[in-house]
Structure 1
Amino acid sequence: MINKVWKAMGVLGICTCLTLGVPAEAKAAEIAVETSTTLYARIDSSAAVKDMPLAGGQVLTQVPEGQSYEVAETSKDGWLKIRTSQGEGYIPSSSATLIEKTQEKVDQSVKQRREVVDYALQFVGGRYVYGGVNPNKGVDCSGFTRYVLKYAAGVNLSHSSRAQSGEGRLVSYEEARPGDLVFYGKNGSINHVALYMGEGKVVHASTEKTGIIVTNVMYRKPVKFVSVLN
C-alpha cells in the first residue's frame, strides 16, 4: 500500500478583524487527508497459485479469469505475489493485469472540528453580554465556547473560562487544531477563552465594544491550549 498525505489547514470564509503577526515558528498543527493506493492483479487467464515463484512449486489454489486480487509483491523474474483467501502465493506475471485503486480517507474528527468552527462563525457580529449564555441574544467568552461546543459537538463545559481550562487535554500551539480552546490570562489567572480556527486565528466573544469577532490567536499572549474534542 502506498500512502500519500495531503495536508490542509483551517477553514474558508474567515473574517479578519485584527492583523497582528504570528511568529513564523508558531504554526498550528496540520490536519491530514490520507490517500491510499492499493495495487491489484486482475486475472486475464486462469492460473495456479504456487507456494514459490517456480514452475515446479506446490499449487495452493486456482484463481479464475476475471477476478482481482491484492498484490503482495510486484513482478519479479516473471512471477507476481498475490493475496488470496487461501493465503499468499505466486502466479505468472503474464496471467494478470495490474490495476491501481485509490481511496481517500478523512478522519471523522477532522470533519467534526470543521463543523464546530463553521457553527461558531455564524455568530460573528453578535453581541457580547457579560454572563450571557446564548450568542443569538448576547454572550460572554466562556458562554460562547460553551454554547458552540454543546450544540456543534455535544460537549458540555462549565460557564467559566477558568473552569474550562481544566476540562480538556492540554496541547501545545503546534498541536492545536480547529475546535480547540485557547486561554488567555493575567498574573497567572485565566480570564478569557477563544475557539481556535486554525491558521493562527480564533473566534471569540471579545468585549462589549467588539462583540463576537475573529482575531489573530496572538492578539494577546495565550496561556494555554486545550482540546475537549476526541
Structure 2
Amino acid sequence: MRQQMSLRASDLVVTAMGFLGVPYRRGGNSVETGFDCSGFVRAMYEQTVGLVLPRRAAEQAQATETISRDELKPGDLVFFNTMRHAFSHVGIYVGDGKFIHSPRSGAQVRVEDMRTAYWHTRFNGARRVTTARGAGDGWQAAQ
C-alpha cells in the first residue's frame, strides 16, 4: 500500500510538471481556461490519483491531514497566506524544498523554492491527501 501511494505521488508530480507554463486564471480549473492555485491542485489530483478535492484552498486544507514541514513528501500540499488570511494559496510539493503552483494573474504554472523569503514567511502548513479520508471530509473518488 505504501509503495502504491509513493508511485501515485511520483505520477502526480510528473503530471503537474507537464502543465508548466499554463497561464493563471482566477476560477480556472483546466488547461483550456488556465488554472488558479486550487483549481490546479484539484485537477492534478483528479487526473492522476482519481480523487476530487474541494474547490477552494481553505477547503482543501480542511479536508486533508495535517503534517509537519519536515514530513513533506512529493505530492503533499503546501499552503500559504498570500491574501491576509490563512490557507489562501496552495501548491503541490515536488521535493527539495520546492513546490509547483499557479501563482497569480499574469503568471503561469511554475516551480518555486519554499525557502525564499516571500514563501517562507507566508507558509501556513503542509497537508497530506490520504485514502483513509473520504467524501465526508470534503472530497470524493472521481467518477
Task: Tell me what 1:196 maps to.
Answer: 93
Q: Which has the higher helix share?
A: 2
The secondary structure found in structure 1 opposite 2:73 is: coil
The alpha carbon displacement at 1:181 in A equals 0.4
Q: Which has the higher strand share?
A: 1
Q: Is residue 148 from structure 1 mapped to residue 44 from structure 2 by the alignment? A: yes
The secondary structure found in structure 1 opposite 2:40 is: helix
Distance in 2 between residues matched to 1:155 and 1:164, nearest whole Å: 12
* Unaligned 5+ runs, structure 2: 132-143
User: CA 1:136–1:189 in 2, change beyond 3 Å: closer, same or farther?
Assistant: same
* Unaligned 5+ runs, structure 1: 1-105
Distance in 1 between residues matched to 2:55 and 2:15, nearest whole Å: 19
Residue number among 75, 79, 102 corresponding to 1:205 in the alignment: 102
Residue number among 69, 73, 79 corresponding to 1:177 in the alignment: 73
TM-score by length of 1: 0.52
Aligned counterparts, 1:28-177, within 5 A: 107-177=3-73
Task: Tell me what 1:100 maps to.
Answer: none
Distance in 2 between residues matched to 1:180 and 1:136, nearest whole Å: 25
The alpha carbon displacement at 1:110 in A equals 1.3
Report if aligned partners of 1:155, 1:228 keep a CA contact under 8 Å in 2.
no
Higher relative contact order (CA 8 A, sep 6+): 2
> How many residues are aligned here?
125
Q: What's the CA shift string for 1:164-190, capped at 9, x where partnerless?
A: 111110001110111010000154422
Q: Is residue 226 from structure 1 mapped to residue 127 from structure 2 by the alignment? A: yes
Q: Provide the identity percentage.
A: 28
TM-score by length of 2: 0.81
